[in-house]
């Protein structure tokens, strides 16, 4: 396809002054990697289907960008969704969606890789394909179109998007992306039809090619079986992991405009051993693997040098659990105070130890202290497996207020399985108790911000069987909180029940959902993750047009033996283990932190070979002895 760079520049030059934040659409930032188009064999476009401001800081894409561009034979460029004003301007001028480095149209690339970290990006993904002039349905694409692949957390249930994606990359992408590129290159050299590419990709561990599978459903819409259409494809797609976290990226692209996170981000640990039953990330990111302190410090130093950033975030699902957190924080904070740096350490546990950590990092810009109790009664805490004594929380809050913070932010969720209005009322009571402590200590300066979101049951978690609250139930709980959670210093934010419904429909959707998503997009749905853009009526109409009942996905109590649309995707954790956890939640039985003793969730046997070859403390699962063929794991009585 011929490409007239100068013509496009001229068109853009006229458009840019008419749109908000035109800096989103030009590229050319510090540390961008631009390679000559004709000097590589394979060109990959990495797409985040929301605006630049959110997509640029995405760590997953930064990792893929670095690792792909490290190859001589590959170039990787970035693309984000244009905001509505830019989309309109581009459509009016017939400008196809382009990548930021070369400004080449997306359709010119060999591979288009979408990240789908959450479900509310689905319509944007379709819109992105449409703006690129690429057929939305995988079945309508041919050799002249890019291969469209997707990865990210939401892809652990790929079925709702299965009609639009050629291949899903399940799990960690650092190594898998190279396997995919290699298979692509071999196919391209062979000159075979596109079907051969899909077949070859299905042989790559962790890759799911939906076109090679076909669901067989019961009359009630539940799944009887997902049939394989080719004898060579795996029945189960086991997610990919890396045995050891590779050195983190340090050459971050520094945006020339303000984005949501302007900082160096270093992942200190992957996974979490706590086993909170609501937590999707906690179950799909097992096993826990840590990075050595020296490697993190080295990465921070190098990244600061490359970027000039003034903020560093040390990321993990549970910072307090990083084995050498004190050592790490000591060393990072020493460097920070000498260099006017802000360090952020999210996901701290509720204990005074967390305040000690934050004290060390206290820069000039720290104003609030965030904790996530999630629930306010012992009954609910046992249900979700997040044990925190109320007195413990109050003690921590007292310490926070007395040690210089005036604002505490507490995250709660309503809508946990088996929750009653009394459990909800307890959230208000607990918040009132916290602010009362704050006022005792620092008077009227004390602020408590309660962020109350609504729980959505997720695939591959113990609550995948549980119904989601109805809008009426959610409304009643929120009304209760709004009337109870009043008083000086108290603030509350919540999620609209309608937003929750969309997330709930899509999270546990099946292949029929593809038609619903398509209808919604056709009727104008996009930026569904944006409260001011999301339109509930469009989705209702989309369900109606598709003849699909939304309640099937949300409010139905699933039978224990139901075959789920995502059962063929394995995060390594066994379904039987999830079920035992679900039963334990009904009996309000706690499960301890699994770094203390293994509960045989299934991850270790799944990756036993890898663990055997990678002994050591960086991996939290028990070591696998060298001679034994399979580890013997005692089932745990509940």
**If 0-12 CB within 10 Å is exposed, 13-18 middle and 19+ buried, where does residue 506 land?**
buried
Q: What is the DSSP string of 21-61?
A: -GGGG----BT-----GGG-SEEEEEEESS-HHHHTT-HHH
Which one of 48, 164, 184, 309 is in contact with another protein (CB under 8 A)?
Answer: 309
- 462: cis peptide before it, omega within 30°? no
Bridge partners (DSSP) of residue 74 are: 42
Q: Least CB distance from residue 88 to another protein, whole Å?
A: 16
Beta strands in 539-626 (DSSP E): 569-570
Structure tokens that stand for 284 in this block = 């799909």
By rule CB under 8 A, what string of x and - marks binding of each residue 354-373 to another protein? ----------xx--------
* Contact stretch for another protein (CB under 8 A) within 51-59, 236-244, 304-312, 457-465: 304-312
By rule CB under 8 A, what string of x and - marks binding of each residue 236-255 to another protein? ------------------x-
- Report the alpha-carbon distance of residue 132 to residue 513 in Å, rounded: 23
Q: Least CB distance from residue 359 to another protein, whole Å?
A: 18
- Report the alpha-carbon distance of residue 432 to residue 438 in Å, rounded: 10
If binding is defined by CB under 8 A, does position 310 make contact with another protein?
yes
If binding is defined by CB under 8 A, does position 14 make contact with another protein?
yes
* Contact stretch for another protein (CB under 8 A) within 87-95, 165-173, 307-315, 473-481: 307-315
Residue 363's SS3 state is coil
Going from the C-alpha of 108 to that of each of 44, 92, 105, 144, the distances in angstroms are: 10, 21, 6, 9
Which one of 3, 5, 7, 30 is in contact with another protein (CB under 8 A)?
Answer: 30
* Contacts (Cβ under 8 Å, ≥6 apart) of 104: 3, 37, 43, 77, 98
Query: Closest Cα partner for 577 from 288, 226, 277?
Result: 277
Q: Least CB distance from residue 313 to another protein, whole Å?
A: 16
Which one of 133, 221, 308, 615 is in contact with another protein (CB under 8 A)?
Answer: 308
Could you tell me where the DSSP H helices lie in 308-338? Answer: 325-338
If binding is defined by CB under 8 A, does position 16 make contact with another protein?
yes
Q: How many residues bind another protein (CB under 8 A)?
A: 31
Q: Least CB distance from residue 511 to another protein, whole Å?
A: 42
| Residue 5 or 418 with smaller CB distance to another protein | 5
Q: Least CB distance from residue 13 to another protein, whole Å?
A: 6
Q: Least CB distance from residue 82 to another protein, whole Å?
A: 14
By rule CB under 8 A, what string of x and - marks binding of each residue 419-458 to another protein? ----------------------------------------
| Residue 308 or 635 with smaller CB distance to another protein | 308
- Report the alpha-carbon distance of residue 407 to residue 83 in Å, rounded: 33
Q: Which residues bind another protein (CB under 8 A)?
A: 10, 13-14, 16-18, 21-23, 25-26, 28-30, 32, 254, 256-258, 262, 304-310, 339-340, 364-365
């Amino acid at each position: 396809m011929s490409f007239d760079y100068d013509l496009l520049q001229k068109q853009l030059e006229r458009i840019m002054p008419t749109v908000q934040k035109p800096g989103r659409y030009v590229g050319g930032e510090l540390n961008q990697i631009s390679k000559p188009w004709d000097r590589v064999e394979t060109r990959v476009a990495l797409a985040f289907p929301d605006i630049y401001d959110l997509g640029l800081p995405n760590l997953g894409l930064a990792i893929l960008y670095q690792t792909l561009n490290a190859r001589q034979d590959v170039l990787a460029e970035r693309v984000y969704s244009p905001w509505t004003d830019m989309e309109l301007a581009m459509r009016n001028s017939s400008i196809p969606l382009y990548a930021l480095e070369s400004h080449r149209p997306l359709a010119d690339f060999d591979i288009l890789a979408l990240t789908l970290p959450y479900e509310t990006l689905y319509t944007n993904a379709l819109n992105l394909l449409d703006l690129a002039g690429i057929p939305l349905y995988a079945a309508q694409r041919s050799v002249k179109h890019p291969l469209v692949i997707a990865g990210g957390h939401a892809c652990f249930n790929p079925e709702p998007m299965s009609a639009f994606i050629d291949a899903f990359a399940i799990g960690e992408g650092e190594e898998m992306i190279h396997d995919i590129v290699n298979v692509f290159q071999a196919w391209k050299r062979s000159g075979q039809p596109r079907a051969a590419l899909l077949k070859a990709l299905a042989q790559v561990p962790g890759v799911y090619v939906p076109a090679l599978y076909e669901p067989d459903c019961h009359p009630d819409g539940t799944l009887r079986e997902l049939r394989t259409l080719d004898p060579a494809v795996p029945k189960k797609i086991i997610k990919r992991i890396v045995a050891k976290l590779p050195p983190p990226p340090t050459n971050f692209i520094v945006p020339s405009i303000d984005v949501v996170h302007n900082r160096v981000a270093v992942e200190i640990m992957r996974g979490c051993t706590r086993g909170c039953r609501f937590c999707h990330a906690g179950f799909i990111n097992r096993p826990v693997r840590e990075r050595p302190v020296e490697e993190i410090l080295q990465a921070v130093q190098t990244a600061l040098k490359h970027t000039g950033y003034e903020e560093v975030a040390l990321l993990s699902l549970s910072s307090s659990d990083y084995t050498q957190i004190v050592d790490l924080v000591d060393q990072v904070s020493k460097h920070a105070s000498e260099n006017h740096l802000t360090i952020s350490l999210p996901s701290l546990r509720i204990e005074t130890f967390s305040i000690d950590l934050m004290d060390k990092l206290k820069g000039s810009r720290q104003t609030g202290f965030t904790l996530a109790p999630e629930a306010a009664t012992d009954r609910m805490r046992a249900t979700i497996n997040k044990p925190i004594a109320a007195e413990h929380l109050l003690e921590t809050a007292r310490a926070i207020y007395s040690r210089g913070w005036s604002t505490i932010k507490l995250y709660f969720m309503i809508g946990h399985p088996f929750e009653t209005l009394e459990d909800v009322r307890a959230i208000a009571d607990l918040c009132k108790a916290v602010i009362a402590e704050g006022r005792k200590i620092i008077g009227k300066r004390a602020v408590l911000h309660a962020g109350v979101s609504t729980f959505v049951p997720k695939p591959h978690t113990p609550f995948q069987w549980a119904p989601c609250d109805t809008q009426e139930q959610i409304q009643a709980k929120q009304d209760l909180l709004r009337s109870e959670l009043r008083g000086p210093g108290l603030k509350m934010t919540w999620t609209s029940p309608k937003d929750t419904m969309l997330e709930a429909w899509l999270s546990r959707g099946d292949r029929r959902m593809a038609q619903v998503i398509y209808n919604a997009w056709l009727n104008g749905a996009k930026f569904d993750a944006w409260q001011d853009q999301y339109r509930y009526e469009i989705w209702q109409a989309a369900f109606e047009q598709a003849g699909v009942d939304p309640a099937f996905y949300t409010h139905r109590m699933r039978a224990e033996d139901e075959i789920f649309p995502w059962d063929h995707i394995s995060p390594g954790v066994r379904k039987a283990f999830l079920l035992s956890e679900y039963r334990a939640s009904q009996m309000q039985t706690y499960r301890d932190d699994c770094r203390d003793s293994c509960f045989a969730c299934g991850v270790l046997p799944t990756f036993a070979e890898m663990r055997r070859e990678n002994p050591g403390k960086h991996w939290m699962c028990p070591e696998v002895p060298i001679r034994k063929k399979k580890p013997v794991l005692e089932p745990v009585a509940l």
